Structure 1
Amino acid sequence: MPGGSSLFSGFRVLGLYSNHVPHALRYHKKHREFYVVTSVGQCFHTYNVNRLGIVSVSNSLSDDITCLAADRMLVFAATGRLITAFARNKEVVMCYHGHKQEVRLLLPLGDQLISADTGGDVIVWDVQEGDVYLRLQFDPASFDVSAMMHPSTYLNKVLLGSSQGALQLWNIKTSKLLFTFPGWSVGVTVLQQSPAVDVVGVGTATGRIIIHNIRLDETLMSFTQDWGPISSLAFRTDGPPVLASGSPQGHIAFWDLERRQLVTQHRHAHRTAIAAATFLHGEPLLITNGADNAIKVWIFDQEGGAPRLLRSRQGHSAPPTSIHHHGNDGKNILTAGQDGTLQSFSTIHERFNKNLGHGSINKKKEQKKKKGLSYEELRLPAITAFSSAAARQSDWDGIVACHRGCLAATTWNYQRCTMGVHHLTPPAAHKTDIATAVDITTCGNFALIGTSCGRVDVYNLQSGQHRGCYGNDGKAHSGAVRGVATDTLNQLTLTAASDWLLKFWRFKSRKQEDQLKLHAAPASMMLHRDSGMLALALDDFTLLVVDIETRRIVRKFAGHHGNINDMTFSPDGRWLITVAMDCTIRTWDLPSGFLVDCFLVAMAPVGVSLSPTGDFLATAHVDSLGVYLWTNKSLCGPVGLRPLPADYQPSEVTLPGVTVDKSEQEVTSEGVDEGVDDAYESAEQLGAELVTLSLQPESRWKSLLHLDIIKRRNKPVAPPAAPAAAPFFLPTLPGLTPRFTLPTTTEKETQSKLVSWGLMSQRSEFSSDLESLIYTIVSEYEIFDRPVRLLKDCGPAALSVELTCLSSEGGGASSLLLAFIHMIESMLSSGRDFDLAQGYLALFLKLHLRSLSKDPVAMAALLRLSSRLELLIRLLSVCLYLFVFVYIIGLFIK
């Protein structure tokens, strides 16, 4: 295994929808539907607005996308100094080279594309040819281009906004500056065309919104937003004169242009800055996206002009820290992120995704108003550990989570997608204590929570009541609890803590039975309940596997060079998969005690979970918002797993959805070839005394003896008649209604078109091959390999024609009959294609037995063939009797 992983291959990434790049909106005339295009790093996704279902994923680029634009046919994406055009939302059709600095603005305009970079260059491209049509150079110190817009009905005109506040109107066809607007002494961040001709909306860096008439150079009105710079502007076009403005705090303000006042505001529409906001043309729908990894569609159907959320696609706005599969079907993955939310991602389709929300201290709105607390103050910190059980999730909460720096553990309901009603807090606990570990029993009735002071408490999930704690003095350990687990039958409880002890407790009586002293403090632990194997990750980067039945350490693994972040077992308990800060994902084989698979990733993995069905491995990584899926190649075919040496140097594997360069493609292909060599290939024939079937369909040899019956049954009732040729002048019948007459058929046309056998004097390819082998000494099956392959490609009717043509009446010769007998004899002697040999021989004797009886040489060959057939039939009958005997003995034993 010179490179890559022999066990897992990248499949796709879940939970990535948007980033800080403003989206692009397209309208498809044929489909009569709007599509929104969002960037997710090195590629972009296309969604339909009606359902927000993903339509396509583009090919990956070499770098992250910095800006997007789209017209009727193409999608343009800028990565650094390169601009790429995509057709059909996926394929790269053109690349535009010419910028010396990073491109930050794109504007499609008819057959041209206008781009601006950070160095002050504005280039007009010919979209079809990819040539530079016009290049404008600006000094960033005096006019730094920060916004671009094409004014409606202004042919070949482009309005440029600068960070210094001035505006310039250019004619890109004549390369002339038409007018310069002095501006308002503040930087321009957004330029947006209004539904009225000559009127433009200007957003500034100070939060001021200016509605300006560029034809008269007159400011019509202005508004001031208190949330900082204007990040986006959008005019409503379905009737009400409303302007929407976005802010860096994620708030959206709506302004009435007739009354010149604020209509309403929507706070916390996104958790980060509003990257772009766009009204659909002629519809009361607003589309927004942001760096919080969310796309949202808002509808204006409420009184007062306030919007409500119609549909959304959102993932984690901060990297996930813990992931686990929920349920036994392996289709849903629960993830907890640094943003404090708990979400569920479906591996089947995005419409099954769930957002369980953010934990809060008090969910009642009335008490929020009474206390006067802000939204951020009521939110709980991020989840550090959680456990889920699907056994009783329809009756009560089935998820328990621990939060960073909090003593109380929260419950969550998966089916209602909300936070639960219980806050599990141990009695008589100190305020500085923190919940560190949690586990739910298999039955789903109890939750065990370990704290930093060494307590392990038991709670009833239905009522949320405290049911007791482990230890005589109320403490199970003298250090912080790092892991809690219960067995399948709720008889045994296992706890591990920073005091270097692994303790075994009776679940019901909560009395200690045994303890195991470790050589280092455990960081985490994982129990595979079906096999009774407990995995412990220690602070010295080693792994221990403990058998909870014998309570002994059965395996010890060393190889990681960083903190072990997470681990998971395979469904059968054979493999232990671990991830660590050394950016490696390792698979340990427990029966043999060796490392069998190891590969590197670019970002350190912090969470891992293998599905209960064993088909997908899910990983979460540092500084990445997605959940990455890897397919288990052992379920698709044979995989050669070999023990890796102690000094094995793993190679890096690209994460799913990221570009693979040429060097890594070569390494991957070498790894695939290595795996193919390990696969077992069956031989053509295992032994001379055995018989092998051909694996051909039964219709190829079973129907050979009944071809005459099949032809008689399928014979047409009337012979096929050729359509009558229409004459130049069509004759009609006499009468009031004109009707055409058909020409009468002649006797020559009714004659048979069948060709006699005498006219077919040309030999077929099969007959020619047999004729070339007439004087060959028959010793091996390979001599007749080509004729047999030709017969295998023939259907029953074609096979009957080939065998009929072997006789002299069909254009053949008696020597061909003898050669065919030799071919059948070689097939029987080799033991291959036994069923085909029987079928071919039966049809051959049915057609030529009368002529063969007059040839003594052919009869001698048939006698030798008969003796060989008798021997094979006796062998088969003995095998059949032995099989029946063994089957009857087996029935008696049962």
Structure 2
Amino acid sequence: MPFAEKKRRTQDVNVKPLRKSRIFAPFRSIGYVSNQIPFDIEVRGTHFLVTTCVGNSFQTYDCERLNLLFVGKQLEREISCLKSYKDFMLAGSGSKIFAYKRGKIVWEIELESSADEILHLDAFGEWIIAISSTRHVHIWKHVSKYEVPELHTIFQPTANADITALIHPSTYLNKVVLGFSDGSLQLWNMRTAKCIHKFDGLRGDAITSLSQAPVLDVLAIGAANGRILLYNLRKAVTLMEFRQSGRVLSSSFRTDGVPILATSNHQGDISFYDLSKRRVQNVVYGAHHGPIPKLQFLNGQPLLVTTGPDNSLKEWIFDSMDGVPRVLRFRNGHYEPPSYIQFYGQNVHFLLSAATDNTLRAISLFQDNQTVELSQGSVTSKAKKLNARPDELKLPEIVSMSSSNTREKYWDNILTAHKNDNAARTWSWKNKTLGQHVLPTTDGTPVRAVCVSCCGNFGMVGSSKGLVNVYNMQSGILRKSFGREQQSTKPITSIMLDNVNRVLVTSSLDGNLRFWDFNKGSLIDTVDMGSSITNAIYHHTSDLIAIICDDFGVRIVDVQTRKIVRELWGHSNRLTDLDFSNDGRWLVTSSLDGTIRTWDLPTGHLIDAITTGSVCTGLAFGPTGDYLATSHVDQIGISLWTNLSMFKHVSTKSLRLDDVTEVSLPSISGERGTSVVQAALNVEEEEVEEDDILHTTADQLDGQLQTLSKLPRTQWQTLVNMELIKARNAPKEAPKAPEKAPFFLPSLKEQAEGLVSKANETNNDDQQRPKLASSVQTVTTRFSELLHGGDGDAFFEYLKTLPPAKTDLEIRSLEAYPPYEEFILFIKSMTSRLASRRDFELVQAYMAVFIKAHEDVLLSSDSPEEKENVLNALKAWDDVQKEENRRLLDLVHYCSGVLSFMRT
């Protein structure tokens, strides 16, 4: 069955300005490789760069390894044609031509009519030629690469037909050949805008492709009826003629000395013709899943590059004796929209995605070249033997999937259920292939749900008649079954198992949520939801289950109490998917009503609602909370959204159900998107809503509470043990004197002490030097100013900002001579802080350092009358200290007695 050609959006045609969501910001889209627009190959010395179109942007790969090098800036309209020219990549989009250099727009030119569209593009020498939808040929002259090209002329060929092909024949100066839908050819001079000659060799058959042969004056002409002509322009004669099945979309000559011509058609087949023997050499059927708009040999190499709207880019190599090519390397993605996505493991490196194209892919969020399709065996070779297409031999569409990375190195760790298939399949993540076990349902009905235990040892398979079979993932042996005694005929919709393999939870279309003892196999409890359950997920950290019901509601069930704790209403159509945030606080849901809603589970409020204009079919919240991944009904890629709550405060105020923000999907290039780094470094102030409540932390909740400081414990512990730390860090050896500098260079010590003699010194230097007595000044530190200022709170807050060594120095530097004013002020400040019951441990540490540093002064018997005020201050401190100790001990003993009474 041929591939049904259809127009699918890879990106919005009209890119709308992004509006901000509360929680999620568009980042970029992944999974795109190519579409129906022909690619272009650019030669850079010995390197070849292939550029493919992906909607409103393009991607450039290195042909040597097919590594992604550049992604072009997002355009407002879809790209219609590509052409490399000098150092630029020209892209036709709407009525404009954009010139890119290393993925950035350098200049642009526009047609006279904005309603006109560019269909074909070519460039050579100093000419840029564009064919518009109104059959006009626009020619620009590009003299300098630093200047914007100037319009040279516009003309319309006299033929009453559409221009379908365009080529510049080699060595034909200022000439182009135009192919028309009526089968005619015309040779035009670009400088004079005149038709030089008309060729009538293909009258009646639309020309679909033109390609230059390695021989001068010879072109390969492809027609809509499958004819391929080798035509000599100078002699106006047909040299050879071939015929293929279907419309000729593209052709290319091999240029490494082997006379081979390759052509492609709408069915995805590639035909190879031996020009020396004038016959078909071989045909590769099903090279792509659908049309091949262009194929091209690399100059001087046995390599063929092909792309197609099946979202794939392939390199074929000719290294066999029979001349049949094989795929050397490729990049591809889903060619049908993904229907099921899931993050693999405990990081956000890989996404598992399944689509209606019967494939299972592991998509890397970080490295494009690590994206792979999990192999289903030798499908291609079997298809050749059975004369069938590879798609017909692949497994059916995946309807349920589960994985665990605990035992990924030892045995299969991915389990999938397929549409109308009565057996589940295992997959190996280590080998990226289909596993060795097939796990059938014992009642012979199709599999509807699967689950892999967190330990990776068990795989559970749910049937369409309510039976759950438990298999060993390593051996594939059936271990036990659940649900035989219940006699339920409704399909199982989801299977969940807790972290320690004790409680198994199943949901079914009969609306019942059943809890099973996993070890005994007995039913523990049944909770009726009142409506059919279509899907359910388990958040293992919080022991919560989110359930989707047919009545458009979401119910949250606590596994421990087996009660419904929340009901979330707001969607107006059937829900498609849901997922918990990594911390279990939020629940993200999507629906056929086109909205993606975020719910705050502790309050049950709707805190964010967005719509993208495209229905979300699947979503997955990253295990680390960085990203939200979504798949959409008309997008073959996966959209990534940055979680803004990881980097800044987001409002969790309740929204109305109809308060929905319309946003645009992330672009392929990430243009106008917000990456994780940008979100983390964004310092713009957010607008605070009027209804938002700004919470501030009180300095002290109650006067009867004893409050500790917010400083790290190491800060005051270091202060108390400062002498021990200094002794431990003391140098073991005396410092060595630095080596003397040469006699003509002064040492740093001499320069610092001012002992360097200068040649221009005069006898008046002694008179200019200040006297020693006049240079001595009294220095007042910030510590002393605040201590004498009388503001105890300001002094203590400043003291908290000092490092331990600086604090120790300041306390030791207090004036230790009569009248001991600074001693008294310091003790009173500490007493006042202790009496206010704040910073308890810091006050104790500061007083310990004070007493230890000045105990010789406080305990000396000299001039006791001058120390009377200091001793009175210490006595006041001692009274407050004893009172606080007594109060705290009473409270501790009371609490201890109450706890002892409760234990007995």
* TM-score interval, normalised by the smaller of the two chains: 0.7 to 0.9
SS in 2 for 1:673: coil
Q: Does 1:221 align with 2:240?
A: yes
Spell out, residue by residue over 1:500-542, the C-alpha distance to the aligned partner (whole angstroms, 9 max, x if none). Answer: 2222223244332221122211111111223221111011110
In structure 2, runs of 5+ residues without a counterpart are 1-17, 674-681, 702-706, 712-733, 747-756, 811-816, 849-880, 897-904
Structure 2 Cα separation of the partners of residues 303 and 86 of structure 1: 42
Structure 1 Cα separation of the partners of residues 552 and 218 of structure 2: 65
Closer, same or farther: CA 338–452 of 1 in aligned 2, 3 Å:
same
Q: Which deviates the most, 640-649 or 97-106?
A: 640-649
Q: Which amino acid aligns with 1:108?
A: A
Structure 1 Cα separation of the partners of residues 474 and 507 of structure 2: 27
Q: Which amino acid aligns with 1:10?
A: P
Structure 1 Cα separation of the partners of residues 761 and 249 of structure 2: 85
Checking the alignment, whether the CA contact within 8 Å between 1:629 and 1:656 is kept in structure 2 is no
**What residue in structure 2 maps to residue 382 of structure 1?**
397
Q: CA deviation at 1:673?
A: 3.1
Q: CA deviation at 1:493?
A: 2.1
Q: Does 1:68 align with 2:87?
A: no
Q: CA deviation at 1:715?
A: 9.8
Structure 2 Cα separation of the partners of residues 833 and 428 of structure 1: 76
SS in 2 for 1:301: coil
Structure 1 Cα separation of the partners of residues 66 and 766 of structure 2: 68
1:449 alignment partner, one of 456, 461, 482: 461
Q: TM-score, normalised by structure 1?
A: 0.77
Q: How many residues align?
A: 783
Q: Does 1:103 align with 2:118?
A: yes
**What residue in structure 2 maps to residue 399 of structure 1?**
414
**What residue in structure 2 maps to residue 589 of structure 1?**
600
Q: CA deviation at 1:817?
A: 8.8
SS in 2 for 1:351: helix
**What residue in structure 1 maps to residue 870 of structure 2?**
none
Q: CA deviation at 1:310?
A: 1.7
Checking the alignment, whether the CA contact within 8 Å between 1:606 and 1:621 is kept in structure 2 is yes
**What residue in structure 1 maps to residue 358 of structure 2?**
340
Structure 1 Cα separation of the partners of residues 802 and 411 of structure 2: 64
Q: Which amino acid aligns with 1:578?
A: T
Closer, same or farther: CA 470–143 of 1 in aligned 2, 3 Å:
same
**What residue in structure 1 maps to residue 494 of structure 2?**
483
2:435 alignment partner, one of 402, 416, 420: 420
**What residue in structure 2 maps to residue 129 of structure 1?**
148
Structure 1 Cα separation of the partners of residues 780 and 187 of structure 2: 93
Q: Does 1:303 align with 2:321?
A: yes
Checking the alignment, whether the CA contact within 8 Å between 1:105 and 1:148 is kept in structure 2 is yes
Spell out, residue by residue over 1:859-887, the C-alpha distance to the aligned partner (whole angstroms, 9 max, x if none). Answer: 99x9987875676688799844646999x
Alignment of 1:72-87 (within 5 A): 72-87=86-101
Structure 1 Cα separation of the partners of residues 151 and 110 of structure 2: 9
**What residue in structure 2 maps to residue 772 of structure 1?**
none
Checking the alignment, whether the CA contact within 8 Å between 2:537 and 2:579 is kept in structure 1 is yes
1:462 alignment partner, one of 474, 478, 491: 474
Closer, same or farther: CA 428–863 of 1 in aligned 2, 3 Å:
closer
Alignment of 1:730-809 (within 5 A): none
SS in 2 for 1:313: strand
Checking the alignment, whether the CA contact within 8 Å between 1:3 and 1:671 is kept in structure 2 is no
Structure 2 Cα separation of the partners of residues 449 and 481 of structure 1: 9
Structure 2 Cα separation of the partners of residues 638 and 147 of structure 1: 56
SS in 2 for 1:298: strand
Q: Which amino acid aligns with 2:314?
A: K
2:447 alignment partner, one of 416, 427, 435: 435
Q: CA deviation at 1:77?
A: 1.3
Structure 2 Cα separation of the partners of residues 808 and 842 of structure 1: 30
Checking the alignment, whether the CA contact within 8 Å between 2:442 and 2:469 is kept in structure 1 is no
Q: CA deviation at 1:322?
A: 0.1
Q: Which deviates the most, 303-312 or 557-566?
A: 303-312
Closer, same or farther: CA 37–658 of 1 in aligned 2, 3 Å:
closer
Checking the alignment, whether the CA contact within 8 Å between 2:452 and 2:460 is kept in structure 1 is yes
Closer, same or farther: CA 713–409 of 1 in aligned 2, 3 Å:
same
In structure 1, runs of 5+ residues without a counterpart are 663-667, 694-708, 722-747, 762-803, 845-858
SS in 1 for 2:645: helix
Structure 1 Cα separation of the partners of residues 685 and 41 of structure 2: 42
Q: Which amino acid aligns with 2:297?
A: F
Q: Which amino acid aligns with 1:319?
A: P
Alignment of 1:820-859 (within 5 A): 830-831=794-795
Structure 1 Cα separation of the partners of residues 311 and 765 of structure 2: 77
SS in 2 for 1:502: strand
Closer, same or farther: CA 370–819 of 1 in aligned 2, 3 Å:
closer
Q: CA deviation at 1:78?
A: 1.6
Q: TM-score, normalised by structure 2?
A: 0.76
Spell out, residue by residue over 1:232-261, the C-alpha distance to the aligned partner (whole angstroms, 9 max, x if none). Answer: 111122221222111211121222222222
Checking the alignment, whether the CA contact within 8 Å between 2:29 and 2:667 is kept in structure 1 is yes
Q: Which amino acid aligns with 2:537?
A: M
Closer, same or farther: CA 864–56 of 1 in aligned 2, 3 Å:
farther
Structure 1 Cα separation of the partners of residues 582 and 696 of structure 2: 30
SS in 2 for 1:535: strand
CA RMSD of aligned residues (A): 4.7
Structure 1 Cα separation of the partners of residues 767 and 288 of structure 2: 86
Closer, same or farther: CA 823–570 of 1 in aligned 2, 3 Å:
closer
**What residue in structure 2 maps to residue 528 of structure 1?**
539
Spell out, residue by residue over 1:287-343, the C-alpha distance to the aligned partner (whole angstroms, 9 max, x if none). Answer: 211111111122222222222222111110111000111122332110001101000
Alignment of 1:207-218 (within 5 A): 207-218=226-237
Q: Which amino acid aligns with 1:461?
A: M
Alignment of 1:113-192 (within 5 A): 113-127=128-142, 128-138=147-157, 142-185=160-203, 186-192=205-211
Closer, same or farther: CA 293–363 of 1 in aligned 2, 3 Å:
closer
Q: Which amino acid aligns with 1:491?
A: R
2:280 alignment partner, one of 262, 273, 278: 262
**What residue in structure 2 maps to residue 791 of structure 1?**
none
Structure 2 Cα separation of the partners of residues 825 and 199 of structure 1: 100
SS in 1 for 2:662: coil
Q: CA deviation at 1:207?
A: 1.4
SS in 1 for 2:271: strand
Q: Does 1:511 align with 2:525?
A: no
Structure 2 Cα separation of the partners of residues 441 and 691 of structure 1: 46
Closer, same or farther: CA 878–631 of 1 in aligned 2, 3 Å:
closer
Structure 1 Cα separation of the partners of residues 120 and 739 of structure 2: 71
Structure 2 Cα separation of the partners of residues 602 and 333 of structure 1: 24
Closer, same or farther: CA 880–306 of 1 in aligned 2, 3 Å:
same
Closer, same or farther: CA 286–752 of 1 in aligned 2, 3 Å:
farther
Structure 1 Cα separation of the partners of residues 670 and 334 of structure 2: 23
Spell out, residue by residue over 1:759-808, the C-alpha distance to the aligned partner (whole angstroms, 9 max, x if none). Answer: 999xxxxxxxxxxxxxxxxxxxxxxxxxxxxxxxxxxxxxxxxxx99x97
1:203 alignment partner, one of 199, 222, 231: 222
Checking the alignment, whether the CA contact within 8 Å between 1:166 and 1:183 is kept in structure 2 is yes
Q: CA deviation at 1:28?
A: 2.6
Closer, same or farther: CA 872–159 of 1 in aligned 2, 3 Å:
farther
Spell out, residue by residue over 1:254-289, the C-alpha distance to the aligned partner (whole angstroms, 9 max, x if none). Answer: 222222222222222211211221222222222211
Structure 1 Cα separation of the partners of residues 232 and 430 of structure 2: 54
SS in 2 for 1:274: coil
SS in 1 for 2:211: strand
Checking the alignment, whether the CA contact within 8 Å between 2:618 and 2:632 is kept in structure 1 is yes
Closer, same or farther: CA 200–364 of 1 in aligned 2, 3 Å:
closer
Closer, same or farther: CA 371–93 of 1 in aligned 2, 3 Å:
closer
Q: Does 1:494 align with 2:508?
A: no
Q: Which amino acid aligns with 2:68?
A: I
Closer, same or farther: CA 394–198 of 1 in aligned 2, 3 Å:
same
1:410 alignment partner, one of 422, 425, 449: 425
Q: Which amino acid aligns with 2:307?
A: N
Q: Which amino acid aligns with 1:288?
A: T
Q: CA deviation at 1:164?
A: 0.8
Structure 1 Cα separation of the partners of residues 808 and 477 of structure 2: 82
Structure 2 Cα separation of the partners of residues 598 and 760 of structure 1: 77
Q: CA deviation at 1:824?
A: 10
SS in 1 for 2:369: helix
**What residue in structure 1 maps to residue 622 of structure 2?**
611
